[in-house]
Structure 1
Amino acid sequence: MQSDENSPDDDLRTRLHAMETRLRRMRDQRSSHNESARRAADSRDSVQEQGKELRKAIEDKLNEQKEVRSRAKAHQNQRDSIQSRIREIISNKRGKKGDEGKAKTGVVALSETIARISSIENRIMTDGNLTLKAENRILRELKSLIARRDELLPAAAEFESIKIDLGDLESTIQSLKAEADAQHKAMTDAHKEADAIWEEVKPMLEERDFLRSEGDRLHSLFVESRESANSIHTEIEALLKEVNKARDEMRARREERERAIKDHNQSVRDALKTPDQDEELADSLTEQLLSQGNLTLGGSMSGDAEGSPVAKEEKPSSRKRVRKPKSFRGR
């Protein structure tokens, strides 16, 4: 009988224990996924930091290579300029006007152009009688002169940087060839230096690509672990509602049993009380005695007369006296 009454509680307790065990296991799984996500995130951040430092080093190397390439380009331009001068000297060797005269003519033209530009600018600033039409014409002329000046500047600079001895063209050509060879060698050395820098950069680029792919892989692992943890967390929330519902049901049943036991114990205690412990019981007995007999304070009931000591004394004794036989002594 008792086993049948406890059977629902046992089933509920067993089901609750199974759900709590499953809940602990799911929490452990969620913690494991969160820990995996944390490790993946830490590794990803570390790899990304390494990649950032490596990209900075690659950028510095490429900037260095760019500077070396620019230096090589400058040597190449200088070499080409010298070789062009050599070709012009050789072509003008037979009585043609030398490059020096051309360069000097260019310098003179540059000087005249600069002087004309200064004159026009001074006139624009000081002459207040210029009409709008005249001012526009002067501005167009100034613009043309500035373009001419910019065109003559490289020729004048080249003349200043390369000195030509017209009296000894052979020696001049040889010195120019030597200078061109030196510029060519400087150019090739610069390109070799740039190539060496590139050889240093290539493994760095491979490592950069590896770190990038590794960072992507770790990030994917992080996202996957987080999604798994979130999925388990959703299941935990649903299961936790069922666990709380079962716990509330068990608590309600336990409280009901405790209430029944308490009521039973109270009824037993009430049944075992004596009149001196229960005022209501004493009052009930008093009413019963008063309703069934004559009760006097300090006296006795009418039916108690026969049992009194006086009545016992007045009642004749019904016992007969028994005579004892005399004893005869021998004479």
Structure 2
Amino acid sequence: MAEIGVIASGMGVASLGLQLMDGIRKLKQFWDEVKEAPEDIQYTLEELETLSLILSDIQTSDSNMPSIPSATATRCLELCRRGTDILNTTVKDLNGAISKRRKIGSAKVVLKKDTLEKFRNRLRDAQYMLMLSRQTYSDALQMEYHKLQIEAVQSNANRQLQEFEELKVSITRSADVMSRTMLRSRDTVVYDFQKKRPTRNRTRNKLDKEAKYFHRKFRIPQWFSSPNYTWDFSGYQAPSGWTFNFRQYYTVDRQSSTWECVRKGDLSGLQVLLQNKKATPFDRLFSGETLLDLASSTGDIDMCRLLLNQGADPNDSFATYVLWPS
């Protein structure tokens, strides 16, 4: 029922927009009959005409548009109705004033200064109400779009993290089986001439298998967040079993605050970014070059020490990054 109220309110705003267009058209016709009509009032009428066109285009029945809260839609409708009432009253009063002056027989109607000022104030009030109505509607609609975007990104991120966990469990189970087959035991019987009796000897042959690895990454879309937040999950198979790494970091550009702090050797600046969760010791460029790569290339020992103390991995460098499949 709330959705029906929202749609009805939106259609009401659009309907009032059409009424506004008709009222403004009449006002412009009346105003053409006023002698030496002030230009500012004429300009206000043109602005109101544009506003009425915008309001008449509001169509909340479109399924592609998110529904705005019913209270906001009702507020927009009320503001629009008040603006329409002000204009309707202005049309009636201006029509009455012009009708009285027509009796004189003049081609143009002369209005008193106080009458002009009254019309000017009413038009400004109507303009304010209509602009406020449109702005309220636009802000509410933009907020709903933003909520939908956040929900979509969070849902995607949660799904990716769930896939990572399921993948980790699956690989761990497989690793237990594979580790038992990596080393194959074989019992042999050997005759010991010194002891003059057979002995049982256990030998192991290592299976000749290539090490396996995987790499999964998920980044928040660049249009949604800059820098991009990345979840990085990787694993590789060693003779002793599987090793997993899970990191969260920002994918930055060369103009970012994080990259500039490392390039300039700004230790305190980088510490502030790390403390405020605006940077991590694992941050890197889209090409894969890490903060530790940059610090080591410039010979900044203090910066390298800071990054290592924060948990940066010296084995996680650009040289190894390019070997991972994206």
TM category (shorter chain) comes to under 0.3
Larger Rg: 1
Greater relative contact order (Cα < 8 A, sep 6+) = 1
Higher helix content, 1 or 2? 1
Task: Give the TM-score normalised by the residue count of structure 2.
Answer: 0.27
Task: Give the TM-score normalised by the residue count of structure 1.
Answer: 0.27
Higher strand content, 1 or 2? 2
